[in-house]
Amino acid sequence: MQDSAPESVEEYSAPSKEFKEKMQQLGVNIPDLHKEYRIPSKYDDYAHLQSRLIYKLEKWTEGNKSFESFNRWQNKLANKIVELNPSLKGLYATAVNNDANYTESDDTYPELTHLLQGVVSQYNEDDISFYLQRNRTAQDNSECNENIDSKIISIGGSRYHLPEWVISQPTERAISEAIDNAKQRAISPDKFRKKEDNANYKAR
């Protein structure tokens, strides 16, 4: 008999997706920073998949399942997700390679687990890769977040509006450009509108 996930789980959260709405509250229009991955059809949605991953992870970390059992399950899930999302092949191959010498005495989860957590939270590949690299090298890669935090505070944002995940350089650039555009629009709305019209005309 298969074990089943509990009915009540933590509320699903996709920080990079929710961040867009927070920026709109400040008058900043940012592009989509999250990624809509395809997930196996046996899962109703991202919340269902996330709850299953959390449940399996807790069964292992609490000693109710062996690491070998958990690892088989997560590898099967990862293979299916990569099959549906070929853009993840490189991250998957790197994670599996780096987990080759993983032991349960390590102070962190396997890299593949972090990769799956990133996917179910809908982080884009740049952000997932950046986070995995940070874990791998134990470097303090907080500069991107610090730069964006300062920009958001400068336009009247609070801690509520700050990114709640580790952002990569491409994501930092996208947010920074959107904030700069919002500032220009506030200072010279007519000039900025003309600039946007010209850009739209060239894009036709």
Sign of CA dihedral 45, 49, 55, 61: negative
Q: Where are the domains of the chain?
A: 37-121, 143-203
Q: Count H helices, E strands: the chain?
A: 9, 0
Nearest to 192 by CA among 183, 203, 201: 183
Helix H or strand E segment including 194: helix 189-203
Higher pLDDT residue, 8 or 54? 54
pLDDT in the model for residue 186: 79
35 phi and psi, to 5 degrees? -130, 130
What lies within 8 Å, CB to CB, of 61 at 6+ separation is: none
Nearest to 34 by CA among 146, 176, 142, 167: 167
Binned at pLDDT 50, 70 and 90, residue 56 comes out as: very high
Percent of the chain with pLDDT over 70: 85
SS3 for 1? Answer: coil
pLDDT in the model for residue 2: 46
Binned at pLDDT 50, 70 and 90, residue 184 comes out as: confident
The 10s digit of each residue's pLDDT in 6-41 is: 444 568 889 999 999 999 999 999 999 999 999 999
Letter string b/e over residues 109-130, b meaning 16 or more CB atoms within 10 A of that residue's CB: bbbbbbbbbbbbbbbbbbbbbb
The 10s digit of each residue's pLDDT in 116-125 is: 999 999 999 9
Question: How many other CB atoms are there within 10 angstroms of residue 71's CB atom?
Answer: 16
pLDDT in the model for residue 202: 52
